[in-house]
Structure 1
């Protein structure tokens, strides 16, 4: 009985601790679904993915008759004037009460929720209430209730594997927030980490996970590969305030680094140096989580390569600093106490960031040439059956990534097959060409990477075939 008592006591302690991190199981939130639906129907590109086609087909079938609802025109104008999109949409979702009231959970201001504006946010909620009523949205949610419950069930294995204790151990502080995992079934590949701070200081943190299906028409499959994203979103709760505390000391170095990578950061909706530094530390902490949980070298290289390719070219050095922090926890009880070292780190790398960037650029694979003709040639043999693109080094050789050119699909070559040479330094494109026709395609670094996971810069290939 004594052993049973101790076992139950331990189990209860673990359960109570887990509840300080994640108070509820993963769920579908109708506020998140509705916000993604209205932005989808208003033409917002970031909410238009059909990755989970089984579900998005249902959305279009139900809501297409209301495409010209007044809320669509409002959203389009809002996006043009203040850029409301991406995470701002999900921030609004968690700042309002459930249907049908949709009342603000906190007092709205011109800066809360972000990128809305007080007057516009209030007008949006008036339109949202009307949209909910006009479109019989409650019926749509009832019709899809089983699909929501099944998606939640499919996510449970991931939920059960998440090591919440790591956050306390690594950051050295007890989380005081309520954590929530929300499945954004209509969000495609978009993942967001908004928070909600109540007037009394209570704070809720949300990991809103995008959803797609393996073959687009079946149910989503949530695997271990989404762990970095899930860990990422919750890291924000422990990271963002640190950079905010030391904003004045980080501004000079952060602004300098942002100048080198601004284009890539803005493509990801990271519009300033502070957001960039938040994201960098969050992403480095994800890699540290993976290291601490003995992920394979391949998985670590893949995650590191993803961050390098996103413009965080100092990520390896930043991870090394987090390793230094972990190795000296008697001196640094919390990551907060280690922040002076990170400030010095950024001061140092910002002084010679151009050299760091040049070294990274050298690691990118580059096209060495095209067999049989030069890029932009105007007299390519239309009987050519194979384009051979040579690189200056072996590629990773896993998958391929080819985008349309500026002129669109009508100018994209008819590619039958893509393969690699034995040494992975040449990519073969089996093609069917037409005489007297212009062609364009763009090789990208999404899959065309070096052996250590560094993606190439976009490389447009343009040519015209000769007449017969």
Structure 2
């Protein structure tokens, strides 16, 4: 009996390894409620493209511009660092509206806002529920529902988007528990990575992406922009970030050699100030280029590299040279975790 149980467990394990990881694609009401508040607050991370969502908000939700949820968001974002990925990471910990009750935890130990201001965050949660349940906003959600479906359908038309988890897993030699792509029509032309621990103790990984354009006022997520770069980059954080935390001392030892005044200036312009985060971002951009090269061709990889060099991230090219050793020795380095110490040594 014991042998049978062992064999069943082994078969289940082997079967799960062979299973193709699924990419879940959605537009999330929690994120859209938050970003509707942000839009009415003239938040700096709203995208610059005109679209039907913005038109609906301007025409029908102006009376909500003085809502307390917007006042609290203004205070939290401007005074207490409630911005960038912290806002969406916070929202993803809660159940759907109308309850919007905390049911999950974020992975890291960083405070979303200072402990002394947690009461403001709780007040904001309550006001966000009221904002979501307002009759005008519910009408807005009904109006945009068919638009949401069209946006999602446009992205799903691609035959390769479902292959992205496989591309990531082959390169990094690891699997993630889940791949959740959230399209956000109001988000800036870029994205965030978020990791949330669910009620079962499992890590849920999210990539939140904003459109890079519009066609006939419909938010447009260009395949070239979405698949060959941004999704690979955002999910890539979940493979690379744990290594940054594990090897932070070794990364620090590279600072005097690489973190020049020039690189520091360019990095700050991109939103990174601390060396370990700058290094992590440079590495992630290099691995993204490698994955793009393997699956979309050399021309695309060169295009991505030229962009990195144009924004002052020329060090990416040096890292790409070192990554050739990883490519050529996958029998030795079965996953990126095993190669990481070698990468650090080569950079020294």
Worse overlay, 112-121 or 63-72: 112-121
1 CA distance for matches of 2:333 and 2:45?
41
1 CA distance for matches of 2:254 and 2:233?
24
Q: Is the CA contact (8 Å cut-off) linking 1:110 and 1:116 kept in structure 2?
A: no
Q: Is the CA contact (8 Å cut-off) linking 1:31 and 1:99 kept in structure 2?
A: yes
Measure how far apart 1:30 and its partner are: 0.7
2:89 corresponds to? 91
Mapping 1:241-320, distance limit 5 Å: 241-254=242-255, 257-258=258-259, 260=261, 261-297=263-299, 299-320=300-321
Per the alignment, in what secondary structure is the counterpart of residue 26 of structure 2?
Answer: coil
Measure how far apart 1:272 and its partner are: 1.8
2 CA distance for matches of 1:31 and 1:274?
32
Measure how far apart 1:89 and its partner are: 1.9
2 CA distance for matches of 1:242 and 1:202?
19
Q: Is the CA contact (8 Å cut-off) linking 1:91 and 1:113 kept in structure 2?
A: no
Mapping 1:152-163, distance limit 5 Å: 152-158=152-158, 160-161=160-161, 162-163=163-164
CA spacing shift, 1:107–1:210, aligned 2, 3 Å: closer
1:31 corresponds to? 30
- Runs of 5+ unmatched residues, structure 2: 1-14
Mapping 1:310-389, distance limit 5 Å: 310-346=311-347, 348=348
Output one character per residue of 1:191-213: Cα deviation in whole Å (capped at 9) or x when no partner.
11111123653111111111144
CA spacing shift, 1:196–1:107, aligned 2, 3 Å: closer
Q: Is the CA contact (8 Å cut-off) linking 2:164 and 2:232 kept in structure 1?
A: no
Per the alignment, in what secondary structure is the counterpart of residue 313 of structure 2?
Answer: coil
TM-score, scaled to structure 1: 0.64
Measure how far apart 1:153 and its partner are: 0.4
Aligned length: 329
2 CA distance for matches of 1:203 and 1:64?
38
Per the alignment, in what secondary structure is the counterpart of residue 196 of structure 1?
Answer: strand
2 CA distance for matches of 1:315 and 1:109?
28
1 CA distance for matches of 2:143 and 2:282?
41
CA spacing shift, 1:288–1:110, aligned 2, 3 Å: closer
CA spacing shift, 1:158–1:281, aligned 2, 3 Å: farther
CA spacing shift, 1:99–1:16, aligned 2, 3 Å: farther
Per the alignment, in what secondary structure is the counterpart of residue 164 of structure 1?
Answer: helix
CA spacing shift, 1:120–1:342, aligned 2, 3 Å: farther
Measure how far apart 1:44 and its partner are: 0.9
1:106 corresponds to? 104
Q: Is the CA contact (8 Å cut-off) linking 2:212 and 2:222 kept in structure 1?
A: no
* Rg larger in structure: 1
More helix by share: 2
Output one character per residue of 1:337-387: Cα deviation in whole Å (capped at 9) or x when no partner.
1111122234x2xxxxxxxxxxxxxxxxxxxxxxxxxxxxxxxxxxxxxxx
Output one character per residue of 1:203-235: Cα deviation in whole Å (capped at 9) or x when no partner.
111111111444462452532332211111111
Measure how far apart 1:113 and its partner are: 6.1
Output one character per residue of 1:375-428: Cα deviation in whole Å (capped at 9) or x when no partner.
xxxxxxxxxxxxxxxxxxxxxxxxxxxxxxxxxxxxxxxxxxxxxxxxxxxxxx
2 CA distance for matches of 1:71 and 1:192?
23
Q: Is the CA contact (8 Å cut-off) linking 2:243 and 2:337 kept in structure 1?
A: yes
CA spacing shift, 1:265–1:56, aligned 2, 3 Å: same
TM-score, scaled to structure 2: 0.85
Per the alignment, in what secondary structure is the counterpart of residue 193 of structure 1?
Answer: strand
Output one character per residue of 1:247-274: Cα deviation in whole Å (capped at 9) or x when no partner.
1221232476445322322232223222
Mapping 1:200-279, distance limit 5 Å: 200-215=200-215, 217-218=217-218, 220=220, 222-227=222-227, 228-254=229-255, 257-258=258-259, 260=261, 261-279=263-281
Worse overlay, 229-238 or 70-79: 70-79
- Runs of 5+ unmatched residues, structure 1: 1-12, 349-468
